Structure 1
Amino acid sequence: MDQAAPVGNVRRSRFWLYTPFVLLLLVAIAWSVAWFAIRNRAVDALDGWLAAEARQGRQWTCADRTIAGYPFRIELICNSLDVRRGVVTASFGRTEAVAQIYQPRRIIAELAGPLRVSDGTVAVEGSWDLLQASVNASQTGLQRLSIAADAPKVTVTGLGTGELSGSGKHLELHVRPNPSRTAEQARDVAASVTEARLPLLDALIGGAEPTNLNADITVTQADGFKGGTIAEELELWRGAGGKIDVLMLSAAKGARRVETKGELRLDDQRRPTGRLDVAAAGLDGLIGTLTGGRVGGNILGMLLGQNPRAGTAQPGDKPRLAPMPPLRLENGLLAMGPFVIPNVKLQPLY
């Protein structure tokens, strides 16, 4: 007859059997408590930031705000997002912002359209298929802002020169403080648009091909938005001595290509002024049009056109860029080398 197992041994074996599940349950409870504590701290921090923004004159409105993301993230959801400062208003559709609880200063956001911005005179409307943004911050402030949009479209009205519109296949924008030019309050900006459709550019240089645009610039005296109209903001920037260092600005439209470097600012009459070093190919028709077929314009047109050996190039080859005389913007006039382009007058921007 078999003997029964000792009771003490049975109890010990069951204890170790259930111990992992008990520990897992305790960890889950502790993690849940920690997440809700972090969530409450995030809500307090958000409310504090909104209050600080209000003191600076920026009023943010997050409609039907929801905080979610359990167990590893903090998600902020707004059915619509609006901001107002002074006479300027901006609004987005549904907005979702996400931060990992172990990396709270890196925020990923997805914003739905439409975008509407207005200062009471100028209005901007934008739409897209997908727009995502990321914000990297530290205790000292913003470190980097990045935006990517698929199929962006934008329309600008109220400028006094008619409606401006444009669209593209993909847009990217990156902004960061320039660490070596903090005294100038400089911001580095890198932007690109692929397959852009710009009616104004089509009318200027001809051709219906899409345009690929790339820009790498540094803007000084970019210390933030004050809440005035676009004209007021530009005047504050001009008065502070702001300028744009064009490290590289390039455009490719079919066989037409141009690359530009230089510096731009606004003069006392609010007109663009500065100097640009240009290399181009395939723009001979543009200069001929601007100069009305004058001799100097024809020479420049020849320089801006295909190089003399372009006829022997293989199909699909890009024309070589030819360095041009410096492009000068002075006193409302546009000059290239010794030639002033007679049919171009630079108007005040505001």
Structure 2
Amino acid sequence: MSRPMSAHDQALAKSRPNHRKYVFLGLFVLLVIAGWSAFWYVSYTKTQSLIDRLMARQINGTPVLQCQNQTLGGYPFRLLLTCSSYTAQNAQNGWRVEGGAFRAIWQIYTPNLALIESDTRLTISHQPSGQTFDMVSSLMRGSVRFSPTEIISRASFEAANPTVTSNNPAFSNMLGEIKADSLAFHARPNPDESNDLDLSMTATELAAGSFPIVSGQFGVTLIEGLSASIRNQGNPARAWLQQSGEVKDINGHVDIGQKTLKLNGDVSFDQQGLANGLVKLKILNPSVDAATAGKTLSAKRDGLNGPLTALQLMGKPVKDGDLIGSEVDIKLKGGNIQAGFLPLGRLPAIQ
């Protein structure tokens, strides 16, 4: 006959299932950590291999990309590449981009997409001509997406409070120092034709030289802009002119003083790099609610209000949503810009 269990034995019997539960839970957590670590390491290995291949690329024996004091880490939730400074250059055409501290972040489940943050100074230089373009801003960031063949398939760049200067005489004489509250550039293959390049630019409170302050966005499609035949040319711009030279789907929206400008059209460049084409320009007045009769005008914001109003008189009346104005045909021929009989200037040739 078995003796009755004591209170101590009963307590031990009740505690055993709880101990097993904690053991199983601990083993499960260890398995999850081990599995996640293995997954992270596989992503790390693939990313390191991608970085090594990119860094190994050369043009005329010169590395295309350089990352000083390179490190790759970020365990456990991401991948983080850091450089104390960076350089991207093309030894064929002499263009070079360089900057200070740089870091790129990948989520481990999207190793082909890198989010980038860099030092607040960027320099673009053309060594054969000695031209330099410098940008200083409070924040620089962007993103780059790579295709399976390590070709950059999409890129974006954003700068907060940028200031751009250059030693190029034509640039500095016309635009001087460029400042903006924000500036962004985006590039990607056209969704319908992968050899075409979509480019867009967005700016807020952009001021350049004596020109009035503007805000807006502008987009174009460069036909054959990503053609394989021009990617490694010494002068991609010249190669693109020979390949196509066509700019399609020009689309812009700009607020300047009291006017809103909208433009669309197509332009082609001849073998000399001179523009030819037709652009439809809508010059729209503010809505009745937005207009203020007693508003004080300033040259910095409204300096083109008079010329734009005069240009409106040459167009046909149009309505765009709540805005009313006129549409003017802007013709480009051999680089010359003209509205009706009125010459508006000249676009420099693409070299």
TM-score range, shorter chain: 0.7 to 0.9
Q: Separation in 1 of the partners of 2:61 and 2:248?
A: 29
Q: Separation in 1 of the partners of 2:336 and 2:21?
A: 87
Aligned to 1:154: 164
Q: Contact (CA 8 Å) 2:312, 2:327: kept in 1 or not?
A: no
Percent of aligned positions that are identical: 21
Q: Contact (CA 8 Å) 1:246, 1:260: kept in 2 or not?
A: no
Aligned to 1:286: 307
Aligned with 1:320: secondary structure? strand
- Structure 1: any 5+ residue segments left out of the alignment? 203-209, 289-297, 308-317
Query: Within 5 Å, which residues of 2 pair with 1:128-139?
Result: 128-139=137-148
Query: Within 5 Å, which residues of 2 pair with 1:1-350?
Result: 3=6, 5=9, 9=13, 14-52=19-57, 58-86=63-91, 87-120=94-127, 121=129, 122-139=131-148, 141-160=151-170, 162-163=172-173, 164=175, 165-182=177-194, 185-202=195-212, 210-223=213-226, 226=232, 228=234, 232-281=235-284, 285-286=306-307, 300=311, 302-303=313-314, 320-324=324-328, 326-337=329-340, 339-341=341-343, 344-350=345-351
TM-score with structure 1 length normalisation?
0.77
Equivalent position amino acid for 2:84 in 1: N
- Deviation sequence 1:8-56 (CA, Å, 0-9, x none): 9466653333332233234324433443343233212311232245689
Q: Contact (CA 8 Å) 2:260, 2:284: kept in 1 or not?
A: yes
Aligned with 1:70: secondary structure? coil
Greater CA drift, 38-47 or 133-142: 133-142
TM-score with structure 2 length normalisation?
0.77
- Deviation sequence 1:48-92 (CA, Å, 0-9, x none): 232245689652111111111111211111111111211221112
Q: Contact (CA 8 Å) 1:255, 1:319: kept in 2 or not?
A: no
Distance 1:222 1:156, change over 3 A: farther
Q: Separation in 2 of the partners of 1:215 and 1:199?
A: 20
- Structure 2: any 5+ residue segments left out of the alignment? 286-303
Q: Separation in 2 of the partners of 1:15 and 1:161?
A: 75
Q: Contact (CA 8 Å) 1:213, 1:252: kept in 2 or not?
A: yes
Distance 1:14 1:220, change over 3 A: same
How many residue pairs are counted as aligned between the two chains?
314
Q: Separation in 1 of the partners of 2:152 and 2:215?
A: 29
Distance 1:186 1:159, change over 3 A: farther
Aligned with 1:103: secondary structure? coil
Distance 1:156 1:226, change over 3 A: farther
Distance 1:56 1:147, change over 3 A: farther
Q: Contact (CA 8 Å) 1:284, 1:302: kept in 2 or not?
A: no
How big is the shift at 1:106?
Answer: 2.1
Q: Contact (CA 8 Å) 1:62, 1:78: kept in 2 or not?
A: yes
Aligned with 2:324: secondary structure? coil
Distance 1:54 1:73, change over 3 A: farther
How big is the shift at 1:237?
Answer: 1.8
- Deviation sequence 1:132-181 (CA, Å, 0-9, x none): 21233443654432333211221233254545331111223222211322
RMSD value, Cα: 3.3
